[in-house]
Structure 1
Amino acid sequence: MCFMGLNKKEKNQLEYEVISNNARLKLTRLIRCYVSSASEILNGIIIKQNSIINIARKVRGLGPYVLDSGDDQYYFPEENAWHNGEFELVMYKPNTIELVETLADLIQNDFLEKSLVNEILSGENCSFSFQFNNKGTVEINITPIDSIDDIENDHDHPNIRQLVDRMENALSNEDYPNVLHTSSNIFETLGKIVLGSPRFENKTFAKILDEYKERSNLPDEIIEYMSSIYIKRGKEPLAGHGSTKESKLNRKDAIILVELTKTIVKIEDQLGRSQK
């Protein structure tokens, strides 16, 4: 059998997975290497580009782009230019679910090597990888939340999937200061993913705020809200520091914060893809 797409459970598990632009850049370099191997074949590069572009388009619900040449097998410069541009966006246009399925299709059809893709994903702290079952079908291996590397381990920032789960657990346990604390961590992590540079990793959200405003696709009002949550975390008893005072947060506050935080993560990711 061939890869037939993610099931509902897998899609739900990856709902808050954010794949950084740095990971997408490395994956783009990987498919460039594959395509360049066809440079000695007549029209080999554009034909391979077209195949990869169409795999990605179909995953996104778009029709195929038919590559049509004349009898002389000549492609106009405009055709080559379009393919070069569209090819560079193959890894940037899809949202997380679409990108996972695109990668699986590319691996299944021998456009990409599974081990090289997994190496990139692991290096960028993604919580999924690919494997072949005993029938040769590509499968998605999604890391359980409690097994994802934390910030103290090998990676510079935690996985947002993990933080969302932690925030929801804090809500269930009525630990409202921890809901605030984790929400702030999610916003800081999201900012660092969007900025995509190691020089921001050891900085607080306040220190990266100006650069994040420039790079983010979110409206200023939402970013100001994110900043206010970061500031509130430092002031609220038990949210940022130990305190002998009781927190004033209640369940209503916490529920609103949880849902807004998750929504902001999804909006940032969707806007980032729609701008490509």
Structure 2
Amino acid sequence: MMYIELSNEDKKSLEPILIPKSTRLKITKLIKGWVATEDQDLLTVRKARFINRANNVLNNKIFVLEPDEMGNYDIPTISWVDCEFEVMIRRPSTVQLVEILIDFFMDDLIGLEEINRIFLNDSIGIEIQYIEKIGSVNHYEGSISIHYLTVIEKPTGSDKLQEDKSIATLLNRMEKSFETKDYSAVLHASASCFEAQAKKIIDKETALNQTLGSLIEQYRSRSYLPEEFIEYILSIYRRRNSEPNAGHGSPLPSTVTEEDAIFIRRMTYALLEIENDLEWVNGNR
């Protein structure tokens, strides 16, 4: 049995990549779900298997579980295993962590899809890819490579915007459109974000079925945003309505460039955050 190792090129490329504690915590929680059982002794055995696989990569001493005469594990052993389990993902360097995750996968302890989803959501910029060998019966006959992704950093404060479900849905739609380079859809999602925000600010049931164009004066009088920002929002709304394949289908190509999409995306987050902060400040005076 031969374990697949990272190439020297991958190791060198991974060295400057930071995998933060928050991401490592998510991976730990994911593994907790995989080992979960109501049988405390079985849980200890499962956790120890992960710990020793990680220790093998880190060149640390392998821990041997020793049950008592009844086949159970004492409290000090359980406590030690619990503590080691909590830090086994936090302790390694980036290269070591990726090697540990690959070994977990090789032993059928984890799946790579869930790990890669965490990396993607946290904008780590890497994806662990397994290439299966045709006719193989286990992972050892395949190959592993690291795919380096273009990191799309979410603007600071974007997590708070996720509290509003309708805005969150539209922002996520904008993110997916940006990732797939569908820039007219970025414009559409941005305009929809501003429209939803305006209706929230106006806070009247009669506004729910109206367009931003028909609500703009009510929004202008109710919002604490400076006038030039209101005009920018209105320009996005108008451009969505006239842009090919943003507001309406068209045989004409979109004129929204990548540079436009970058600016639109950033301004969407910024104006939503600014308006929320202004609402909070003025509501708590």
Q: Give TM-score, length-normalised by structure 2.
A: 0.49
How many residues are treated as equivalent by the alignment? 153
1:30 is matched with 30
Matched residues in 1 for 2:81 and 2:143: separation?
A: 27
Structure 2 unmatched runs, 5+: 134-138, 161-285
Shift, 1:8, TM fit: 1.0
SS of structure 2 residue aligned to 1:32? helix
Structure 2 matches for 1:39-118, cutoff 5 A?
39-40=38-39, 43-118=41-116
Matched residues in 1 for 2:62 and 2:151: separation?
A: 39
Moved over 6 A (4+): none
Shift, 1:62, TM fit: 0.7
Q: Give TM-score, length-normalised by structure 1.
A: 0.51
1:238-276 deviation line (CA, Å, top 9, x unaligned): xxxxxxxxxxxxxxxxxxxxxxxxxxxxxxxxxxxxxxx
1:51-96 deviation line (CA, Å, top 9, x unaligned): 0000111111112011111331121100000111110111100110
Matched residues in 1 for 2:108 and 2:90: separation?
A: 20
Q: Does the 8 A contact of 1:2 with 1:108 survive in 2?
A: no
Closer, same or farther: CA 110–97 of 1 in aligned 2, 3 Å: same
Closer, same or farther: CA 156–105 of 1 in aligned 2, 3 Å: farther
Closer, same or farther: CA 120–60 of 1 in aligned 2, 3 Å: same
Q: Which fold has the larger relative contact order, with Cα–Cα distance below 8 Å and residues 6 or more apart in sequence?
A: 1
Matched residues in 1 for 2:38 and 2:5: separation?
A: 31
Structure 2 matches for 1:138-153, cutoff 5 A?
139-143=144-148, 148-151=150-153
Matched residues in 2 for 1:79 and 1:115: separation?
A: 32
1:10 is matched with 10
Larger Rg: 2
2:19 is matched with 19
Amino acid in structure 2 at the alignment position of 1:108: M
Matched residues in 1 for 2:2 and 2:129: separation?
A: 13
Matched residues in 2 for 1:126 and 1:2: separation?
A: 28
Amino acid in structure 2 at the alignment position of 1:68: E
CA RMSD of aligned residues (A): 2.3
Matched residues in 2 for 1:12 and 1:77: separation?
A: 42
Matched residues in 1 for 2:155 and 2:84: separation?
A: 32
SS of structure 2 residue aligned to 1:88? helix
Amino acid in structure 1 at the alignment position of 2:9: K
2:164 is matched with none
Closer, same or farther: CA 70–138 of 1 in aligned 2, 3 Å: farther
